[in-house]
Amino acid sequence: MKKDKGNRYSGIGGQAVLEGVMMKNKDKYAVAVRKPNGEIDVEVDAYPGILHGSALKKIPFIRGIFNFLDSMALGMKTLNHSVSFYEDEDAKETAADKVMGKLFKEKAENVMLGIVTAFSIVLAVAVFMVLPYFITSLFEEYIRNASVMAILEGAIRILIFVGYIVAIAMMKDIKRLYQYHGAEHKCINCIEKGRPLTVHNVMRSSRLHKRCGTSFMFFVVFVSIIVFFFIRVEQPVLRILLRIALIPVIAGVSYEIIRLAGRSNNIIVRLLSAPGMCLQKLTTKEPDAEMVQVAMASVEAVFDWKAYLSDTFGYEIDDSWLVDEPAEEEEEA
């Protein structure tokens, strides 16, 4: 087998959920959750996404907008699914639940999911796009140079983003979620490095991956700094509206960068990916073997990794290779 320092693109991706992992391959996805009794529940379904089959989803820079919305919606849906295994069975139905049930009947859950997703996007825009502008505007009396103000706004945006990640990472309840996030990355890295999917091989794979959502969000922040540096208006209200209006453009460009990062390993791509990979050291943690087993179950439900290794790396998997050995130390990304 020919060795390759970089990963070979597999097309699978996913996210961590409560006590589990979601993996997606094309339109098919699986959510594997470790239930309170220790068993692994695996649910497989299809998510065609917004504008399924539309030519718009194939146009560079445009497709990134819809892929971002799809990932948000599917992420919320699968997270709610995992939470359902740990909900209090004696919990009473709230007044909001009753109202939503009467108004939308069987579609109530989807409508609520849409509302939560929309609110999350609005909150993110307010915190990471609009708030840095307002903070920067406090310095207008002291700094008259527009370029310096643009750089200052970018620096504040980065500080808010990194501060948010650091604050979240310090929360005790988030640690297990980040361990499952690490398990997700390790499974994908294991396969894309050409290794059979075993607990041993997964555990010794890197927990950092260039296609991670953390890296995507860093690219959004980075691209926004460049865009707002060159595109300016004078009126304060128009400045705010411009920052909101350009979000689809920023998301589209960021998607193309991270898409390239997942398919290339040249020096420029590695340099662009480096900051996001560093941030992943905060948003991923080392999983234990049981967490890895959950992530593997999610992968195997939607992805034929044996056929992938055969087609991509040119060898067939012998069952004797699937016997696990003691895990080794994690390799460097």
101-153 pLDDT tens trace: 666 666 666 677 778 778 888 898 899 999 999 999 999 888 888 899 999 99
Helices 213-230 and 236-245 pack at an angle, to 10 degrees, of 140
Confidence at residue 4, expressed as pLDDT on a 0 to 100 scale = 47
Q: How far apart are CA 79 and CA 87, in angstroms?
A: 12
pTM here?
A: 0.87
Confidence at residue 323, expressed as pLDDT on a 0 to 100 scale = 60
Residues 6+ apart with CB under 8 A from 108: 97, 100, 101
User: Burial level of 32, CB count in 10 A (0-12/13-18/19+)?
Assistant: buried
DSSP 162-212: HHHHHHHHT-GGGHHHHHHHHHHHHHHHHHHTT----HHHHHTS-S--TT-
Residues 6+ apart with CB under 8 A from 148: none
Residues 6+ apart with CB under 8 A from 329: 204
Cα→Cα distances 15→213, 217, 246, 298, 316, Å: 8, 14, 27, 11, 29
Confidence at residue 208, expressed as pLDDT on a 0 to 100 scale = 95
Write out residues in the chain with pLDDT < 70, as ranges: 1-6, 88-110, 319-333
